[in-house]
Chains A and B, each alone.
Chain A
Amino acid sequence: MESFLTWLQHSLGKGPGDTAQSWSEALLESLNLWELLEGSHLLGLILFVGTILVVDLRLLGLIFRRTRVSVISDTILPLTVFGFAFVVITGAALVFAKPLLYYHSIWFRLKMILLTLAMLNILVFHSRIQKSQGGWDAESVPPSKVRAAAAISLVGWLSVIICGRFIAYDWFECGKPQSALINTVEACKTSERGAYTLEGKRL
């Protein structure tokens, strides 16, 4: 993985000559494109999580109690899916600009795990819980298993956002003196910056 990401960051699309840039480097150093991608990622997130929030609050029985769940979800979920696609595309482009930094970031790794869990929760909801929707579709407060899925969804997506924002901070960046646990979780030994113990000794 490390060598693939190194190739992605430093070699892919690189022309001849010492000053030539790879596509990844060109994207990162572009005048406006990287900034536009980052801004778009945030705006896509507002659409994506903002609409999920409304659906989850309905599933929790906190808003739109007189409206069928199917009316809310059928109308709002296309917007959510669009927002998600937007976030994934812009997010992938942002990772492409700094693949090695993201790969060795504890927050990015945690974000990917939480993202997978949140997606699994959606899968479980659609494949199991939603099958019985006819029975609780019109209920002002849906059954506990539905509310549990909605609560997990909310906590999951909020955690994804928190981890995503923390990626920007270098608290645990490889190359800094830090605990063995962090060095292991981030696979710092194989990173360009290396792994350092709390005493400052390179591993």
Chain B
Amino acid sequence: MSFNLEQLLPAARPWVENLVNVWPTPYVKPNFAIWEVGHILSLIALGGATILMNLRLIGVGLTQESPSEIYRNLRAVQTVGAVGIVLTGVLIGMANAERLYDSAAFIVKMLALIGGLILTYGVSRPTAAAEGSVSKPAKAWFALGMAFWLAAMAVFVTGGLIAPGMWHVITGAGLLVLFVMRGRVRIVYAGVLAALVLAQELATRVTDRDSINISFAVSITAWIVGTALVQFFRTDHGEEDGPLTKIIGCATILVWLTGAAAGRWIAFA
């Protein structure tokens, strides 16, 4: 099963085909590579700021500074990145509209983009500004942002040829949790994760059945998410932020990772 804009809006094809003639596309298309570089650079600015701001919400990274201080210093970089990806994204999207119209990865990217903007501007930034305290409006935005992110992942997983791209998200989550863990828990976590990956590798060599592969993907995801949740809900003395703040930090990093990964997979399938 694959889901794309052509299925959703079949009547829009003539309009999509004509986008290549609409201003400013005729000026963008000959310099497509330049705009593409601009898109990547914006993603880097957004990514760097988002990773550091949200790692602090999780309780790691720049812990010598308060979340609000990190927010105050990185908000401009983050906004430059967010505006940059939207602006360059619209331009390269118009120049490449027909391909995006048929692409399931593009749907994933758009859902993750909306989720990312909601989680960043409605949840993560206000939470960082309030030193990790999650307000009621932020909780409401969190529910909405998570809905978009989960929808993005659902389309990614069921997207046929693009489904392997979900490994980027799973790997990112796995590494994020590894970074957050400390001491013996980290060793146990990494050991079990490595064993699951090895078992998957062996199992897929013995049998190439998709169901085996999917079972392992689900098991690995469950292990990563389960370990993170147990760790977040454990009462750690001296920690200022609650589990929801940490979950917000993780989700905000991973929603942008989902969007970036899906963006790359537009070119593949």
B164 and A35 form a contact (CB under 8 A): yes
- On chain A, the residues within 8 Å of B149 by CB distance are none
* 29 A-B contact pairs sorted by A residue (CB < 8 Å): A36-B164, A36-B168, A38-B268, A39-B168, A39-B261, A42-B264, A46-B44, A46-B260, A50-B44, A50-B46, A50-B51, A51-B52, A53-B45, A53-B48, A53-B77, A63-B76, A64-B65, A67-B69, A67-B73, A75-B63, A76-B61, A76-B62, A79-B61, A161-B37, A161-B44, A165-B33, A165-B36, A165-B40, A166-B37
A47 to B172, CA, bound (A): 11
Range class of the B interface residue count: 35 or more
Q: Which residues of B contact A (CB under 8 A)?
A: 33, 36-37, 40-41, 43-49, 51-52, 61-65, 69, 73-74, 76-77, 164-165, 167-168, 171-172, 257, 260-261, 264-265, 268-269
Given the known interface contacts A67-B64, A75-B61, the answer about A46 and B48 at a Cβ–Cβ threshold of 8 Å is yes
Chain A residue, CB-CB nearest to B263 = A42
List residues of A (25-83) whose CB comes within 8 Å of B's CBs: 31-32, 35-36, 38-40, 42-43, 45-47, 49-54, 57, 63-64, 66-67, 71-72, 75-76, 79
B37 and A47 form a contact (CB under 8 A): no
List residues of A (150-167) whose CB comes within 8 Å of B's CBs: 158, 161-162, 165-166
Q: Which residues of A contact B (CB under 8 A)?
A: 31-32, 35-36, 38-40, 42-43, 45-47, 49-54, 57, 63-64, 66-67, 71-72, 75-76, 79, 158, 161-162, 165-166, 169
Chain B residue, CB-CB nearest to A33 = B164
B260 and A76 form a contact (CB under 8 A): no
- On chain A, the residues within 8 Å of B260 by CB distance are 42-43, 46
Chain B residue, CB-CB nearest to A169 = B33
Chain A residue, CB-CB nearest to B50 = A50
Given the known interface contacts A46-B48, A63-B77, the answer about A75 and B33 at a Cβ–Cβ threshold of 8 Å is no
A46 to B77, CA, bound (A): 14
B165 and A39 form a contact (CB under 8 A): yes
Chain B residue, CB-CB nearest to A163 = B37
B264 and A165 form a contact (CB under 8 A): no
